[in-house]
Every structure is written in C-alpha cells, then in structure tokens.
Amino acid sequence: MLCDLKTSSRPVSLYRRGFLAAAGAATAALAAGPVLGQVAVGDASPLRSLVPAREIENAAVQQYGQLLAGARSKGALAPETHPQLVRLRTIAQRLIPHCAQWNDRARQWRWEVNLIGSKNINAFCMPGGKIAFFTGILDQLQLTDDEAAMVMGHEMAHALREHARSRIAKSQGTGIGLSVLSQVLGLGRLGDFAANVGTQLLTLKYSRSDETDADLVGLEIAARAAYNPEASVTLWQKMAKAGGGKGPGFLSTHPSGPDRIVQLQRNVPKVQGLYRQALARR
Ligand SMILES: [Zn+2]
C-alpha cells in the first residue's frame, strides 16, 4: 500500500507543543527534558480524524485479547516471570513517560507488553498501547537492550502517530468514499466497523513516510529514555543481515534498505544531546 497523502514538510515540532503542555503538568520526567535536537517530523495525517480513535483502540483491545488467548492456548504466551518479558517491560517503563508528548490520548492508554514464543521476527504496538514481541526478534537478532528499545520506540511511534487510524480511514475510504464513511460512522454503525477493522490491525502495511516517521519519533523517545541512539543503526544493520525485505513478519513490512539506515545515521546526532542528558539523570 502506498501513501500519497504527504505529511507536511513544515518542521512542526509536536514535541515543543507537547512540552509546553507537559511543563504545565510538571511531570518529573518531562519537566527535565531539554528543548534541543529533536527530530523534525510533520503533523500527523488529518485523514485519521475520519475514524474515531476510541473505536480503533477498542478494536485493538479485542484483537490483542484474541491474540494472547490464542498464544496462551498453545502454551506460547510467556509467563510474568520470563526474563525476556521482564526485560521488555522494564524497557517499556522507561519509554512510556516520553510518549504522551506525542499524543495526548496516550495519558489514558493502558499499556501492556507481552512476549509470544514464535520464530517470527516480529513486534508490534497496536493502537491504545498494546505491545507484543515475538521471541524470534530477540533471539535471532540477539538484540541488546538499546536495540530492543529502538524496536519498541518505533512500534510505539506508529501507535502514537495513529498511523493505523489514517491507514484504515484510507482503505475504507477508497471503497466507499470518505464522506460516506464519516456519515456511516455518524450513524452509529460502529460495532460493525470495529469488527471489520479489528482484523486489519495486525496485517496493516504502513507507507514509507509512516515508517520514516516511526523511525524518527521512536529514536527520540528512546534517546529521552537514555537508550543509545546509535543502536537504531545497528538494529537495522542486523535486520538487513537477517533478510532485508524478505521473509515473514517484521522484515516484510519493514524493508531495511540503505536509505533507512542513512536517514537514521543523519538523525542520530540530533538526539545525542537528549541521550547524554537522560544518561546523566539516571
Ligand atoms: Zn514500522
């Protein structure tokens, strides 16, 4: 699926806007965040407003619940004490305080992190903050904590920037027309809608601009949580080695071509200051 809806190239800093709001809230973690070196990304797609965020999040909760139930029935859901799950949850705890500045709704999200036993190299964060990693991505790529944080930051960024919401608005829209879509939604047929989009959430393929957006926003979130920005580059080098654009799961939807790595290399220096300051606070 290609995205022809370009995000604004205006270097709007959502962070700066978010920072002012957060400064008012005086959350310790955010209040300490300096205004420097943040990545420049455009506004989130206006198309997403055609699909109610709450409906997408409800659909995600259902879909996530089904996925976990399926894994549990096969004995593939990691128990609470699994060391890799404990490690992932520790990473999430460090990243989450830096998320709401990208999307106000995230303050109310009930974040969840689970680990599923599977050889697939895969990880995702569904709308509303429902995260899952497959053991394959940790084991086959031998991810360090910094690299795992980059994967998680990237996936969180897809949710925070509501890429699924705009993808679904677009895919529904191409079938029935956007004005009709909003009428349908206004008429209260949201139950059908949730059932319909729920299954799409796990198979969505984002556009290249969504991917770049998630790379950069994720990079900044991870840097603010004191994860080494250089790990974004080594992560994608490992991905490239593991099969580039081929194979199932993450690699098929996340081509790790040279463009991606160059783009990250260019942005690493922009968040180094944030990383160093976050490190000094730890
Ligand atoms: Zn992605």
Under 8 Å between Cβ of 159 and 92: no
Q: Pick the more confident residue, 5 or 222.
A: 222
Catalytic residue among 57, 155, 162, 211: 155
Please state the domain extents for the chain: 2-7+46-281
Query: Do residues 253 and 246 touch, judged by C-beta distance below 8 A?
Result: no
Give the pLDDT mean for 104-123: 94
Q: Are the CB atoms for 87 and 49 separated by under 8 Å?
A: no
pLDDT for residue 7: 32
Residue 181 alpha carbon to ligand 1 centre in Å: 26
Question: Does pLDDT of 226 surpass 50?
Answer: yes
Residue 235 has a CB neighbour count (10 Å cut-off) of 23
Contacts of 81 (CB under 8 A, 6+ apart): none
- Catalytic residue check, 112: no
H-assigned helices in the chain: 14-25, 28-31, 53-73, 83-95, 135-140, 145-160, 163-176, 178-186, 190-198, 208-224, 230-242, 250-253, 258-281
Asked which of 44-53, 69-78, 164-173, 193-202 is least confident by mean pLDDT, the reply is 193-202
148 within 8 A of 138, measured Cβ to Cβ? yes
pLDDT of residue 93 exceeding 90, the answer is yes
Q: Quick one: DSSP state of residue 46?
A: G
What CA–CA distance (Å, rounded) separates 111 from 127? 10
- Report whether pLDDT(92) > 60: yes
Res 83 pLDDT > 70? yes
Residue, of 63 and 205, whose pLDDT is higher: 63
Question: Encoding tokens for residue 263?
Answer: 């783009």
Determine the Cα–Cα distance for residues 19 and 25; give it in Å rounded to an integer.
10
Order of strands, edge to edge, in the sheet holding 112-116?
112-116, 130-134, 123-126
Q: State the distance from the centre of ligand 1 to the C-alpha of 165, rounded, in angstroms.
A: 14
Q: Is pLDDT of 3 > 80? A: no
pLDDT at 197: 62
What percent of the chain has a predicted confidence (pLDDT) above 90? 51
How far, in Å, is the centroid of ligand 1 from the Cα of 101?
A: 20
For the cut 60, the answer to whether the pLDDT of residue 112 exceeds it is yes
The predicted structure's pLDDT at residue 58 = 85
Alpha carbon of 211 to ligand 1 centroid (Å): 5
Q: What confidence tens digit (pLDDT) does each residue in 122-162 have? A: 999 999 999 999 999 999 999 999 999 999 999 999 999 99
pLDDT at 273 over 80: yes
